[in-house]
Chains A and B, each alone.
Chain A
């Protein structure tokens, strides 16, 4: 008998069988809680994040300061949380812009005729062949850095694979029998596009967004780390890490390790949701 049951013991101490989709829902729930906590925490701790205290400099992690303090006496926990909020905001805007670009170009390539398709496919190939990290840094630099530079850099380099996916989906849908039948039953092109084609694209867009989002956060951190991103009075994780690098050799490990871990946790949470969703949408594996 090939039976597969997954048990999870909750704090009520009885086994609950959870299938994959229920587990996905659970991880979405936890991720949302995490986000909300970070968001609330960020607003509450804002003042603490920036306030310095010269009497409490370079304190390692303790009860009062769970993440320790830095060289200016600022509480690292508060800084990390508000840094996360900022990183998430930037990441979200960057990822959303990228998805919008991907959607528009993918749709255009599939519906505006062969010439448009050729041009856009060529553009996709062009961007895919460039190393995206370098291009992104270049774009951030050229647009003058700051929030604008980071968002533009992320948006303009990450649309390519999703655009390809959208293009392929729309092309396939256009020749699907049920779409053609719809036209013969009297429906207009617009009706077919909005009721048949677009709903099919939404899952892909969602997955694209969720998988791009952590990617964007990490990129923001690296651009800022290199000095091209946000300025020091907008303490995103990148800045925190970059400034703390100098102090590693003096043994103040908590200045980099803890914020870094916090960033990874948030990124990982979103990655997991994206993975679960992706699996659910794959028709071959959606019944696991």
Chain B
């Protein structure tokens, strides 16, 4: 039962190129995604590729010079800015990438309690802090007194104590200790057992695979494959899209083998598949027609040749 669905999402920006001219840059193009209740989906891809913007689009907090088109549905209901504002923080929680999102003038304990619903916010907050191995005195500290890792844990806590049905986490564990990363992702996984859905945006593939149920591979502004995390194993034969296979084999623990070329620039407009330049399976078809997202073997893929 899909709780959050994203269809045909496109996000573009108006940027100044040179001094006086403006240009529209498409950062996300025709993106499809759906998350079920009680599921954790990881979105992996290159840093700076626009994954964060996906999170911002779902929550309705895109910057002013952004243009969005497409449809986002929550529990079957299409979202518009008004509904997004109502759901934000209540039913859809956000763990931002930037540690500066904490209010610098409020103690962190109070900030976490603000989002905790129910009878006893203090107990909930203390319990969560304990789980994240934050010492007791941290709740009385201000954000500037926290180290990077501690601040990240606090950000995560603000989302986990709320009763949100969907948590969107944007790189929540970057810069954290390896053990803390495991703990934090475990907690998110436990929330999914209670029915919550989690969208985890990260470029740490290893951590994502350990806890996520499904993984969406982000490339050149769109999602090229959605696969169960078990498919990421061995040589990556079970993966559907050539980019996912290349990503998997480029990891240092696997073959550490790169492919030629890199992500196409958002400025470059192209017909056809955006991966065609670097793909070993390219044909004329690939250069002319952009592949549609289709179902394949319990997953989804955007490729003409995937089997």
Interface residues of A (CB under 8 A from B): 1-4, 19, 21-22, 25, 286-288
Contact = CB atoms under 8 A, between A and B. Distances in A.
Interface of B: 13-16, 19-20, 22, 63-69
Contact of B13 (A1, A4, A287): A287
Tell me which of A2, A3, A25 has the highest count of chain B C-beta atoms within 10 A of its own C-beta.
Answer: A2
Nearest to B64: A288
Main secondary structure, interface of A, reads: loop
A255 to B, nearest CB: 43
Contacts of B15: 287
A22 B14 CA distance: 14
A286 B15 CA distance: 9
A280 to B, nearest CB: 9
21 contacts: A1-B67, A1-B68, A1-B69, A2-B66, A2-B67, A2-B68, A3-B67, A4-B64, A4-B65, A19-B14, A19-B20, A21-B19, A21-B20, A25-B20, A286-B16, A287-B13, A287-B14, A287-B15, A287-B63, A287-B65, A288-B64
Nearest to B14: A287
Given A1-B67, A288-B65, 5 more contacts: A2-B67, A2-B68, A22-B20, A286-B16, A287-B14
Contacts of A288: 64-65
A1 B65 CA distance: 11
A287 B16 CA distance: 7
A96 to B, nearest CB: 25
A104 to B, nearest CB: 30
A25 B20 CA distance: 9
Contacts of A286: 16
Tell me which of A3, A21, A22, A287 has the highest count of chain B C-beta atoms within 10 A of its own C-beta.
Answer: A287
Contacts of A2: 66-68
Contacts of A1: 67-69
A21 B67 contact: no
A204 to B, nearest CB: 18
A25 to B, nearest CB: 7
A250 B91 CA distance: 70
Contacts of A19: 14, 16, 20, 22
A2 to B, nearest CB: 6
A254 to B, nearest CB: 41
A187 B215 CA distance: 48
